[in-house]
Structure 1
């Protein structure tokens, strides 16, 4: 498999599905808001550590209402830091979690992000969120990037897994898999994304397919390390 011709991503999806299975529902979460917080907690650490922090936040009831992180009765900084300690970088991540919750409340997306089911097991196109449905993906991505602690990779993860927008996540696993297969893999996150995001759209990937592709790339990349 070479280059970046039309159909490359479809062929890659088929090949990796045959190797690893479909991996539907790969990102475990009870809500889309939980996906957003999880995308912060998994930065610079293993998913197991982020999952431990999420479990502690869930046990404290903090994933059921963004206002509990930012409202008048919000949890204290020290308590939040202690709850997310398994994921490391606790000061930066606690501030970022609050920033994400603030953004969710500001744009009026809290109810949708808490109530929308994450039923991707069937593999069909996920339901579009009513909140922000009129905002195109580039604009939504730009808005997410204004949130403290949300960089390009985190914004793309949120777009894909919380908002069901077909998105190419150009992370280290993706670079590794593409390089191993002789596919074009420019250095750096944004050059890689700039090349392959348009191709994802040209090949007609829906959100569920893009989610599966990313899950499979992570699975394959993990085996290459």
Structure 2
């Protein structure tokens, strides 16, 4: 069995399904992917709750709201002025290119959407791929700091390898399985928070014998 498949099986056996990414709609998931940059999910949940309470969690509402009002609503997520601009840019992109519809966006070829997303202000590879995988159900593996930390500590790939190098490794070794990509990324986040911390707890880690 290839190393990545073996790690996945160990993590899934230990943790079970993660039911990630939380969100009632694809648009809410996309908003969460933008807001979670440089903060924890608890803060994002507070920001999303504010948007819902203000009836602002829609393409139309965010498109029409002034930037400073969006910033106030998402304040719990941190860097709120920066993230407000990023949300606005994403919403403007959605309005202009897909007539405000995540469903229309989903119908386009993955590589084409990804290229367009990466041209949107404030959306990098990790955020773009989170939107593609979790909101649009496209078969792309999301790479984050937890993934790099776990794999580099197990000598699979150097931590300083590029995002593309890490992603290519997953796409080469694993089948194109959207559900598995979803679970695997979430499992990396879980083990990164529980065991593979900056100061790791290796003796109790489910990958200790890997």
User: TM-score w.r.t. structure 1 length?
Assistant: 0.80
Unaligned residue ranges in structure 2 (runs of 5+): 198-210
Per-residue Cα deviation, 1:181-217 (whole angstroms, up to 9, x for no partner): 2322451442433532432xx5213111100000001
Which residue number in structure 2 is paired with residue 203 of structure 1? 174
Aligned residues: 196
1:35 is aligned, of 11, 29, 34, to 29
Which residue number in structure 1 is paired with residue 97 of structure 2? 107
Looking at structure 1, the residues matched to 8 and 127 of structure 2 have their Cα atoms a distance apart, in angstroms, of: 22
Looking at structure 1, the residues matched to 100 and 4 of structure 2 have their Cα atoms a distance apart, in angstroms, of: 34
Deviation at 1:42, TM superposition (A): 0.7
Does the 8 Å contact 1:167/1:197 carry over to 2?
no
Does the 8 Å contact 2:46/2:76 carry over to 1?
yes
Which residue number in structure 2 is paired with residue 16 of structure 1? 11
Looking at structure 1, the residues matched to 174 and 67 of structure 2 have their Cα atoms a distance apart, in angstroms, of: 45
Does the 8 Å contact 2:114/2:129 carry over to 1?
yes
The answer to whether structure 1 residue 68 and structure 2 residue 61 are counterparts is yes
Deviation at 1:43, TM superposition (A): 0.6
The answer to whether structure 1 residue 146 and structure 2 residue 119 are counterparts is yes
Q: Kindly report the root-mean-square deviation, in angstroms, between the aligned alpha carbons of the 2 structures.
A: 1.9
1:190 is aligned, of 156, 163, 172, to 163
User: By percentage of residues, which structure has more helix?
Assistant: 2
Looking at structure 2, the residues matched to 69 and 213 of structure 1 have their Cα atoms a distance apart, in angstroms, of: 32
Looking at structure 2, the residues matched to 109 and 76 of structure 1 have their Cα atoms a distance apart, in angstroms, of: 20
Looking at structure 1, the residues matched to 74 and 162 of structure 2 have their Cα atoms a distance apart, in angstroms, of: 27
Distance 1:95 1:38, change over 3 A: same
Deviation at 1:58, TM superposition (A): 1.2
Which residue number in structure 2 is paired with residue 89 of structure 1? 79
Looking at structure 2, the residues matched to 214 and 76 of structure 1 have their Cα atoms a distance apart, in angstroms, of: 35
The answer to whether structure 1 residue 173 and structure 2 residue 167 are counterparts is no
Bigger relative contact order, structure 1 or 2, given CA contacts below 8 A and separation 6+? 1
Looking at structure 2, the residues matched to 109 and 220 of structure 1 have their Cα atoms a distance apart, in angstroms, of: 39
Which residue number in structure 2 is paired with residue 158 of structure 1? 131
The answer to whether structure 1 residue 77 and structure 2 residue 67 are counterparts is yes
Unaligned residue ranges in structure 1 (runs of 5+): 1-5, 114-128
Classify the secondary structure of the residue corresponding to 2:187.
helix
Which residue number in structure 1 is paired with residue 183 of structure 2? 212
Deviation at 1:219, TM superposition (A): 0.4
